[in-house]
Amino acid sequence: MPELPEVETTRRGISPHIEGKTISNVVIRNHRLRWPIREDLPQLLQDQPITNISRRAKYLMLETPEGTLILHLGMSGSLRVVQNGDKPGKHDHLDLVCSDGTTLRLHDPRRFGAAVWTDEPCGQHSLLEHLGPEPLSDEFNGDRLTQCAKGKSRAVKLLIMDNQVVVGVGNIYANEALFMAGIRPDRPAGKISARRYARLADCIKIVLANAIEKGGTTLKDFVGGDGKPGYFQIELTVYGHGGEPCPKCEKPLTEIKLGQRTTVFCKSCQR
């Protein structure tokens, strides 16, 4: 599933090719994404310049003077820059064609992605308005976690994966950040000190920033018609390594389910 680093990498990969260009045609091959693509999207986007491509959580926003197209990549979506006329594949559901022929193509085999138009300021859109701060912003820090955790008995891992607390901390990154911070994922959120939350906030930032940096090496993969998304694999220290030796103490890593998600940690290094 594309996580925040992949979505940010996508933004960086496509922006130089699309930003500032004018949409001359929109081709919808399949309306049935997570929500149906509106029938009049081609009319709404016709002749609109793309003034900016921004990201909030895992949403990408293609801004135009008349409104914003909000894209989400769902479970399996990807965006590529192709040329108008490049043959679409089976799961290439949406093309935004610019006046010079440059085309942004949405590929999504499982169709959990979305392409939603809004003419409101997009921060007020129902998809975005209740989201917590961006993990790499100054608004997200140990104090924010300490406040959100106050009196909460739920597991700290579920707290940091809650989009209203902080956006974009998916399962893999939550596991990795908690290992780096030395905090047990199932520890009740309200029982962790402010000092440890400051460390956890830093670790979340480090893990996500490293992944985004790694994604930088794949930016060229967003251009061209071969259909492979330019996603990347970060080196994972605990996730996917249940039962294997802990990289710090070499005792076997424990794997449990927490909120139905695979959770891996070291019983001796994480407390």
CB 99 within 8 Å of CB 22: yes
CB of 246 to Zn ion, least distance (A): 3
Instruction: Give, as one character, the DSSP assignment of residue 114.
Output: E
Structure tokens at 148: 């959100």
Question: Active-site residue 58, yes or no?
Answer: yes
Catalytic residue among 11, 55, 58, 187: 58
Kindly give, in sequence order, each residue whose CB lies less than 8 Å from that of residue 165, ignoring residues fewer than 6 positions away: 132, 144, 145, 148, 159
CB of 251 to Zn ion, least distance (A): 5
Query: Would you say 129 or 250 has its CB closer to Zn ion?
Result: 250
Question: Active-site residue 247, yes or no?
Answer: no
Query: Would you say 219 or 269 has its CB closer to Zn ion?
Result: 269
Residue type, position 203, single letter: C
SS3 (DSSP) at 264: strand
Question: Active-site residue 261, yes or no?
Answer: yes
Half-sphere exposure of 37 (CA within 13 A, CB side): 27
CB 222 within 8 Å of CB 163: no
Residues that bind Zn ion (CB under 5 A): 246, 248-249, 266, 268-269
CB of 253 to Zn ion, least distance (A): 7
What region does 47 belong to: left with phi over 0, alpha with psi -120 to 50, or beta? left
Can you name the residues that pair with 70 across neighbouring β-strands? 61, 116
How many other CB atoms are there within 10 angstroms of residue 271's CB atom? 12
Query: Would you say 217 or 268 has its CB closer to Zn ion?
Result: 268
Decide: residue 186, CB within 10 A, 0-12 exposed, 13-18 middle, 19+ buried.
Answer: middle
CB of 252 to Zn ion, least distance (A): 9
Query: Would you say 222 or 265 has its CB closer to Zn ion?
Result: 265
Query: Would you say 105 or 184 has its CB closer to Zn ion?
Result: 184
Distance CA 127, CA 90 (A): 28
CB of 264 to Zn ion, least distance (A): 11
Catalytic residue among 2, 5, 88, 185: 2
Catalytic residue among 29, 34, 205, 261: 261
Question: Active-site residue 3, yes or no?
Answer: yes
As annotated, the active-site residues are 2-3, 58, 261
